[in-house]
Amino acid sequence: AEVAPNLLLGISQLAVQHQDILLRIAAKEIEKYAYECIDGNDAAKFTFVQMPADRDIFLDFCLQTMLYQPPPTSSEGFAAPPPGLSRLQAIRICGKSPLRGDALMIRKLGLLNVIAELDLDPQLVYSSILVASVDRNDHVARRGEELLKRKENGINLEDPVLVRNLFSIFQGTPVTEEIAADARVAPANQAVKGKLMTVFMHSVAAT
């Protein structure tokens, strides 16, 4: 899967709308890893992780994908943002057609398996794995829980940046913050909030 690494290298230098397109194409390519391991040779091709700006855009996309749940079948597009996301972020994940069922499961599993094997600080992937561990889909939740157990020993819950990011997922955009409606992030769903509360209870920095 050499296409995805090449698409992601230098992505931070592009306009946002172009980033969105390339992220969706790369995520589609990464789906091949939903059911097969990414080996060391393939992982080494993801050189963009050495570029903090490129890496962070990809990891934000991964987190947003894990937070994403499809709107009700009767909905047209994203009239309201899904829990944990803004309307613009939901469109970034899916484009014009909401992801559902097996397609969404495969997308999430592929991304989880890739970020688990890349040479990344566990702090950087913790949020995505944590959210995945309470996914509605049993396969995604099981994989998220496996990765959480594997990486949680390397997590510093007193890191103010991590705690701030987790709080941001929990509450979404503060009511008092003036921001365009399409960019306003909704609070996380109850399953994610419950998981986050267990984390906050073990963090002095969060209290």
Say if residue 103's pLDDT is above 50: yes
pLDDT in tens, 32-72: 999 887 888 888 899 999 999 999 999 999 999 999 998 76
pTM assigned to the model: 0.93
| Three-state SS letters, the chain | CCHHHHHHCCHHHCCHHHHHHHHHHHHHHHHHHHCCCCCHHHHHCCHHHHCHHHHHHHHHHHHHHHHCCCCCCCCCCCCCCCCCCCHHHHHHHHCCCCCCHHHHHHHHHHHHHHHHHCCCCHHHHHHHHHHHCCCCCHHHHHHHHHHHHHHHHHCCCCCHHHHHHHHHHHHCCCCCCCCCHHHCCCCCCHHHHHHHHHHHCCCCCCC
For residue 80, is pLDDT > 80?
A: no
